[in-house]
Amino acid sequence: MATSSSEGDDLRDRSQQSTLASQRAKEGGSETQRRRGFGNMFPLGAKDGFNQWWASLSPAMTEHRVLSYIPLLQKPPTHTETGSAPVSASNSTMNVSSQDGEQLEQVTTNSINDPHGPRRWSSQMVHLSGKNRALNEFSIERIGEPVEQNLVMLHGYGAGLGFFYKNFEGLSRAEGWKLYALDMLGMGRSTRPKFEVHAKERADQVIEAESFFIDALEEWRVKKNLDRFTLLGHSLGGYLAVAYALKYPGHLNKLILASPVGIPEDPYAVNAAMPEPEDSTMANEFLQDQNEAINNSNSNAPKPGDNNNFLNARSKAAKSSSGTSTPATSEPPRKPLPGWLVYLWDKNISPFSLVRWSGPLGPRLVSGWTSRRFSHLPNEEAQALHDYSYSLFRQPGSGEYALGRILAPGAFARSPLIRRIQGVGRQYIGPHSGPTVDADAPKDTKCHKTSKKSTDSTAASITASDPDAPRVRETGIPVVLMYGEHDWMDIAGGYAAEEKIKQERARLLANASEQEKRNDHGSAKVVIIQKAGHHVYLDGPEQFNQVMLEEMRDVMRRERMRTLQDGSSAAAS
């Protein structure tokens, strides 16, 4: 870890092992001087960058190395199928570089001398219908215990399931739980089918892009025979988790959004002025040094100039819970993003396209992000994550091209979640054409306020076999929004979403009976992870894991109570 004393810095310099860490600037000069020039902005040396490009480490090998830092798991399981590439014929958990044409179904291993186990760790590719559609899955199951609940974890844009390596061991201590981490379709080590949008209208293009990911998640759920589960999504994964809850209602018992992208209506929804290009939220993901953000933290002192500071978030959210607000007239709006950036964004020129096109310069370009994003980690782990990131970024483009359809330049959603999040847990059970919010049923239409577990066939029969049957509506689910203390994502958007969800609950229950109010499970809250940035699970893993374990215990209590209530209702009938 980084130390504050010069002696500690010297010691770290002498003990460095990784090529990326050896390029980090640690000696005198101001922050501006330290970052001036191409070499400081992209610290990986030209020779080391060329060697990494030439070595072309496979995503399987780099994922395997990242997962090797999971405590108590000396030999992580790693299947060797990445995308549509051929796979290994050997079940070895270590030989992840060999490949041939035979299919490898699954690789498993057990924890060694595990005081919180025994646990089974598995890695496999789950094949879906259609051409070149499969999801990379990593799972942890407690041996000798019945699986009562399931947690599904989704990563953010361009990332992979390996980024959760600091959370797997802690979260899998929860008794009665099985954990799944997935690489989203077209990202990570999942297959990368051609991403195409056929719709002509902008709104329909957004729905089609969202469905590219969430339809695959739903098909995976059906194959795994999961009826209800808890869904955790980070950043873009959080955005898509909301879309999933809206399009496929009835299957979530809790939704946890870790620094989700796409909540605010537009820059004016939660900010007083349009951000400058260098101040935009997306830019901060690449420019913010995480080590400085964590070590310079002072949660007791407000930061007047920080529009993303959580101390000011509630006051801003009070003005934007409706989803829109007007910028302050006392301060004129700043200039919008430059035209060339908007052009590249709309043409789907992704950051990863630049990495692929740059050839031997690719690793060095990636180091401009990884050297800052992982600067708070030990050198070896930071190097492993850099290698992992580069191996994923250089894969064929697929799901990354959805970004321009879903988000406008500057990371604001084209279909903001603040317009839709109130529908989470309030949808009518049954097939939906897209992740849109259901309107209230006409007053002369029967509508049940209570909802029990439903299957796909039951849901389909509601609208197809008997369209006149009473429509069953969800009775709410808990929604948790997590942000880092130094998150570049605007936390006020989270508080606005919390208020929007609570307002919808109050509206729907205004004329409800006492029994209907007791049966309602809807709630929302915002949680701040101290000394963390956008990647809350990686920057503050201890607090993040503690919060997650408490939320998982809450799910267990709620679901056991639901089971008892369903049993009592069945007995009474």
Contact 167, 154 (CB under 8 A): no
Closest CA to 104 of 120, 82, 121, 88: 88
Paired sense of beta strands 119-127 and 107-110, if any: antiparallel
Amino acid occupying residue 268:
Y
Contact between 379 and 12 under an 8 Å Cβ cutoff? The reply is yes
Instruction: Give me 305's structure tokens.
Output: 């100039």
Contact 237, 155 (CB under 8 A): yes
Task: Measure CA of the first residue to CA of the last residue in the chain; give whole Å.
Answer: 61
Alpha carbon distances (Å) from 547 to 297, 360, 439, 535, 537? 20, 42, 33, 15, 10
Spatial distance between the Cα atoms of 164 and 240, rounded to a whole number of angstroms:
18
Are residues 73 and 64 in contact, defined by beta-carbon separation less than 8 angstroms?
no
For residues 477 and 247, the answer to whether their CB atoms sit within 8 Å is no
Burial class (CB in 10 A: 0-12, 13-18, 19+), 9: middle
Indicate the DSSP class of residue 478.
E
Tokens 């970052």 belong to 35
Place of tokens 């039951």: 458
| Residue 284 · residue 292 · CB < 8 Å | no
If one counts every other C-beta atom within 10 angstroms of the C-beta of residue 68, the result is 15
* Secondary structure of residue 449 in the 3-state scheme: coil
Residue 534 falls in the annotated catalytic set? yes
Given a contact cutoff of 8 angstroms between Cβ atoms, the answer to whether 485 and 531 are in contact is: yes
- Check if 235 is active-site: yes
Torsion of CA 182, 185, 191, 197, to 10 degrees: 180
CB 214 within 8 A of CB 185: no
* DSSP, res 376: T
| 155 in catalytic set | no
Q: Which is the catalytic residue, given 211, 235, 350, 375? A: 235
């809807």: which residue's tokens? Answer: 522
Out of 155, 386, 486, 534, the active site residue is 534
What value, to the nearest 5°, has the Cα angle with vertex 116 and ends 110 and 119? Answer: 25
3-state class percentages of the chain: helix first, strand second, coil last, to nearest 5: 40, 15, 45
Per the DSSP assignment, residues forming a β-bridge with 232 are 153, 256
Active-site pick, 215, 487, 490, 539: 487
C-alpha gyration radius of the chain: 24
Catalytic residues: 235, 487, 534
